[in-house]
Structure 1
């Protein structure tokens, strides 16, 4: 991992900051960097915790504030904006297994617009709320299947279009990852069903049309 880029020095009045060597805090963590004249961590600084976690970045009022990078003890890394010791603003979280999220954060949770990718090639691009996929988004699976539409509490829920890798497609209502409500299901050979669904199955009124146009 490369060296952290301190690119916001102009936000601090360096004449008011004091550089100090390694200092052990009450919780056993070691801090090395700049301090305010009031004795608060302020400006550039690096902190190491007893579990091996490391934060490198900017501080204000004794908390991580501004841009910084946190390397967790398990190897996961977050780099981006901080507010009062929490990921808040724009940032990227990279897991040890290669999964990654880049986008908006609010109080340590994915919140707003973001892109999440996985080692197998899967990708989600859309909205988040309180750490979960929530709102409008598009999910691409490793097998080529796609879904574009609404999510609720991390589930496919609402209006959306699901396309399977074999050419099948459903355009309609979803509930908790299942077809539920009204929709149109089409096959690659031009068969089509338009009607009602319940719990992923045809249920209620519907019209089935064969490839030759017969209903």
Structure 2
């Protein structure tokens, strides 16, 4: 009895093409339709693992970890300098779901940088900010603003230590006027000292001390006056 040859069923071309298009593991540089270029690892057709991406529109470069198509874990973001054309580090640290998250350092300019904790792309937690005028803030942040306990040191040696809210001195705080040899301890509202006690501290060695010392307070109950004023301003 003659054998009948069964013709092998051929898989449709589109299935083969789709399989070849699926990106898995380490791949050569891949250019997107918009011109972005990614070189690195893939998983389930998404950037996953170690990889480097250059965005065509901005010229920014990211080198680090990816997860499910987003920057995740640790990575460094660099931007291209307009004058030299070379890359300058912008941020290095933790990422989560494509946003700065965890501990990292962000460079705003050659003289301004922030080192500390991030939450969902904003400064949040503890951090140290160096400002272009030479001031340094160390303390708590919330929603990209100074909020909570913090210390601000000014270039002339003066410093404020106390509470912050909405990026301003708010609540109880102590301001040392080192240039005048005086210290103020009291209540602040939106960066303005409202009620407290001003005292002389090492005024003889201060470079710009006032000509006369602060007179002694002669109120019968100064504490009660301060308490009433504090309650008024903080209500």
TM-score grouping bracket, smaller chain normalisation: 0.7 to 0.9
Residue from 82, 92, 99 that aligns with 1:102: 92
Q: Secondary structure at the match of 1:113?
A: strand
Higher strand share: 1
Alpha-carbon contact 1:99-1:119 (below 8 Å) kept? no
Structure 2 match to 1:41: 23
Structure 2 match to 1:142: 132
1:84 matched to 2:52: no
Q: Secondary structure at the match of 2:24?
A: strand
Structure 2 match to 1:63: 46
Q: TM-score, normalised by structure 1?
A: 0.78
Aligned residues: 180
The answer to which of 138-147 and 113-122 deviates more is 113-122
Instruction: Give deviations 1:27-62, integer Å, cap 9, x for gaps.
Output: xxxxxxxx9968521122221123221111111111
1:197 matched to 2:188: yes
Q: Secondary structure at the match of 1:57?
A: strand
Q: Secondary structure at the match of 2:80?
A: coil
Q: TM-score, normalised by structure 2?
A: 0.72
Rounded to whole Å, the distance in 2 between the matches of 1:119 and 1:151 is 20
Alpha-carbon contact 1:36-1:42 (below 8 Å) kept? no
Rounded to whole Å, the distance in 1 between the matches of 2:128 and 2:62 is 24
Change (3 A) 1:166 1:185: same
Change (3 A) 1:79 1:134: same
Structure 2 match to 1:93: 77
Structure 2 match to 1:29: none
**Highest Rg: 1 or 2?**
2
Higher helix share: 2
Structure 2 match to 1:157: 147
Rounded to whole Å, the distance in 1 between the matches of 2:33 and 2:134 is 44
RMSD: 2.0
User: For structure 2, which runs of at least 5 residues remain unmatched after alignment?
Assistant: 1-16, 82-87, 205-212, 217-235
